[in-house]
Every structure is written in C-alpha cells, then in structure tokens.
C-alpha cells in the first residue's frame, strides 16, 4: 500500500495559489488515473485506487498547510504504512520556478507544512516531490507570495512531470529510479 499526499490549503480562495501546487499535482494524478478525490476522513479529502493489486491513497489534507501533519499522521497510522511508502508533494521557494526535485528523505527546510508532518511523524525519512516556485524578483513577505495565484503556464509542465513521477512511484518504481527519470 502507498499513500500520496499533496499539500495545500482548503477553500476556493486558495485553489490557484502557489502554496497549493501539491493539491494541483494530486488532482492531475487523479485525473490521469480516473479517480475522484471525494471521500472524507483523516482530516482530508482522499481517493482510494487499486492499481495492479495494490491499494493507493491520494489525499489532500484539509487542515490548512501549517497543520498538514495531523492528516498525514492519521492516515499513515490507520493503514500502518511504512514511511518509505509515503510520498509528499509540495511547493518549494528554494527551487527554480517550474522545476521539480525528488528526494528519498530530507529536512523540512523552511516549509511549515513539511515541518508539521516531520513533527507528527517523528521522522523526515520519507520520499518527497518538491515543485519549484522560486519567486522572480518578488519583493515583500513570502507569505504574500505563496498565497498569490500562479500563472498556470509557468507551472503546467512541472505539474505534469510531478504527476508522472507520482504514477511511476505508485506503479512500483523505487524512489531512486523515479529520481533518475524525473530529476534534472
């Protein structure tokens, strides 16, 4: 079993925000696999997919970004999924806009949603896909930037590539293979 988490904020007013790139990737994965993210539970909205005999859960926490760990901890504990079978997708202001970076593990960096997940899981030993959103010459508070709407054309390729990386992972490719295919 695998659990794939896309980070973002609920409410329509945040739907097109930089901070919702994780939700956008999850929505793209669901679209490609013909799934509907319409079940409620574990402080999130989720879909359950059977792919090649393996159960896959796609989840979008509804706790707001800074409390994402509550949802992740709930679903990981409920299904007793080892952290190597958890994949988290989120925006990263330290990576060039429109690029993606996949890692087996790592620190939460400055991302509050990831900090909360690491806090709740007590570990940073899980794979992640970071969607780059480094601001081009943005001046001001970074909170204002991550809560601003994206220009979809700048992220369309990254969302597509990240969704393909997720599908590769859930179809059974080890994370190092996924990294070799999609990083760079």
Render pLDDT for 62-73 as a digit per residue (tens, 0 to 9).
999 999 999 999
Residue 117 scores a pLDDT above 80: yes
Residue ranges and CATH numbers for the domains of the chain are 2-182 (3.40.50.1470)
* Section 115-131 average pLDDT: 98
Residue 138 scores a pLDDT above 80: no
Residue 91 scores a pLDDT above 90: yes
Integer Cα distance of 86 and 3 in angstroms: 5
Give the pLDDT confidence score for residue 136 in this predicted structure.
Answer: 84
Residue 108 scores a pLDDT above 80: yes
* Section 29-37 average pLDDT: 98
Give the pLDDT confidence score for residue 90 in this predicted structure.
Answer: 98
Residues forming beta bridges with residue 46, ordered by sequence position:
39, 59
* Section 15-38 average pLDDT: 98
Structure tokens at 181: 């295919």
Give the pLDDT confidence score for residue 110 in this predicted structure.
Answer: 87
Give the length of the chain. 184
Q: What percent of the chain has pLDDT over 90?
A: 92
Give the pLDDT confidence score for residue 114 in this predicted structure.
Answer: 97
* Section 94-120 average pLDDT: 95
Integer Cα distance of 63 and 71 in angstroms: 7
Residue 89 scores a pLDDT above 90: yes
Residue 184 scores a pLDDT above 80: no
Residue 135 scores a pLDDT above 70: yes
Is the CA virtual torsion 109, 112, 142, 10 positive or negative?
A: positive
Structure tokens at 111: 């991302």
Active-site residue set:
19
């Amino acid at each position: 079993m695998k659990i794939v988490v896309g980070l973002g904020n609920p409410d329509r007013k945040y739907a097109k925000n930089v901070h919702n790139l994780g939700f956008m990737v999850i929505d793209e994965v669901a679209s490609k696999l013909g799934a509907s993210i319409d079940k409620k539970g574990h402080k999130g909205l989720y879909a359950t997919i059977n792919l090649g005999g393996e159960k896959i859960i796609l989840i979008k926490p509804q706790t707001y970004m800074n409390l994402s760990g509550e949802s992740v901890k709930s679903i990981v504990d409920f299904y007793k999924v080892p952290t190597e079978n958890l994949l988290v997708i989120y925006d990263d202001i330290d990576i060039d806009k429109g690029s993606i970076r996949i890692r087996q593990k790592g620190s939460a960096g400055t991302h509050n949603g990831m900090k909360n997940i690491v806090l709740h899981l007590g570990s940073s030993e899980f794979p992640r896909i970071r969607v780059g959103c480094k601001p081009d010459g943005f001046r001001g508070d970074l909170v204002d930037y991550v809560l601003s709407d994206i220009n979809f054309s700048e992220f369309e390729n990254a969302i597509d590539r990240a969704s393909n990386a997720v599908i590769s992972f859930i179809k059974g490719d080890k994370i190092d293979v996924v990294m070799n295919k999609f990083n760079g």
